[in-house]
Copies of this chain bind each other. A is one copy, B any other.
Amino acid sequence: MLYETFEKIYALERAGKKIIKLNVGEPDWKPPKSAVKAACLGMKTGAGIYGSSAGESPLREELARLHGCKKENVVITPGSKFGIYSLLKILLRNGDAALSFSPNWTAYGLMCNSLGANLKLIETRQEEGWKANLAGLEAAIDANTKIILLNSPGNPTSVALLPKEEEELISIAKSKGIAVLADDAYRDLCFDARKERQFDGHTLIAGTFSKTFGMTGWRIGYAIAPEEMIVKMAEMHRITITNVPVFLQSAALSALLQKEKIARRARRLCKKRAKLAFGMLGSKLQCVKPNAGFYMFPRLPEGTETGKFLDSLLEKGVAIAPGGAFGNYKNHVRISLCREEEALKEAFEKINSAL
């Protein structure tokens, strides 16, 4: 569904049309200069040779320090997506199930299907502020359930669970002997500035350099898990990607060393944009005020046909994503607030006029 939008955009752009693309979850801030420098230096000085399948020690050690674990609990992956896939491949057998709240990131279901497993979705509701449906989650657990995918703050809602809700979820999972995978892609962007998730020996963590550091296309992330799973993930690397380029790991390390400053700046920008968006769109569109990240997931006014609305908006030069791509939410749309203020204002005006 998302990819069809891409094709329409490409066609319009080829025809010379200018499109404000708020359909992709891609920050507009640049990667740290020191990261670019570290990567170039690495490429020039021989860091383009084979490296460890688990990742280079300095980067693993720094991540271990951040997450309160050992280097042996850390593996460097080509994007956190690969880490999630790899963990699901380890945990899920044919017919097994993963659970996730919905609306949810498209890739989870595709991954589970590809592994012969099912993704069971527990719907949450805009009327309840996308609050975690913990009772629904617990009720959905059965003998086939092997893992709960926790994406908080979530794509597409940009709403983060409260810490005590997370705790409760983890405790439910533990009591039922089920793994939890925290997909923390957007955690640094919680407006209330959460602490780094500490590895508790149970909750698996998927982290990425994509969002916080504006390094989406660099394809570098990591996973934190019990050592025996990390060993399996490194084995998976040996038969697929071999290793993440060492010079990209140098870049990631350089970025990581400035994380506090970079994350603070990104968070501030996201908060400002969310306020602007809510202010300009909130009266015409029903929406939960985001408390993190850079998405809005409003519902279109009753009677609006989403597909037609997106097409007419695209004609006006603004691309946003259909809610149906994120679950059973076809009357919603996802707006990525990943452009400078002026472009956002222009886009919001066009959205309002198209409504």
Contacts and interface: CB of A to CB of B under 8 A. Distances in A.
Interface of A: 24, 26, 30-31, 36, 39-40, 43-44, 46-51, 78-79, 81-82, 85, 107, 110-111, 114, 214-219, 235-236, 238-248
A212 to B, nearest CB: 14
7 contacts: A26-B49, A36-B43, A78-B241, A81-B240, A81-B241, A107-B238, A110-B239
Given A40-B43, A85-B239, A50 B111 contact: no
Contacts of A79: 241-242
A238 B79 CA distance: 11
A155 to B, nearest CB: 14
Contacts of A243: 217, 219
A85 B42 CA distance: 28
The 6 closest A-B pairs by CB, nearest first: A40-B40, A49-B217, A48-B217, A110-B239, A36-B43, A111-B239
Nearest to A33: B44
Given A31-B43, A107-B239, 19 more contacts: A26-B49, A30-B46, A36-B40, A36-B43, A47-B217, A48-B214, A48-B215, A50-B217, A78-B78, A78-B219, A78-B240, A79-B241, A81-B239, A111-B239, A219-B241, A219-B243, A219-B244, A240-B240, A241-B241
Contacts of A40: 36, 39-40, 43
A235 B107 CA distance: 10
A48 B218 contact: yes
A240 B48 contact: no
A219 B53 CA distance: 12
Given A43-B36, A79-B242, A240-B81, A216 B49 contact: yes
Nearest to A213: B48
A80 to B, nearest CB: 10
A30 B30 CA distance: 29
A31 to B, nearest CB: 6
A132 B75 CA distance: 40
Nearest to A88: B239
A218 B218 CA distance: 12
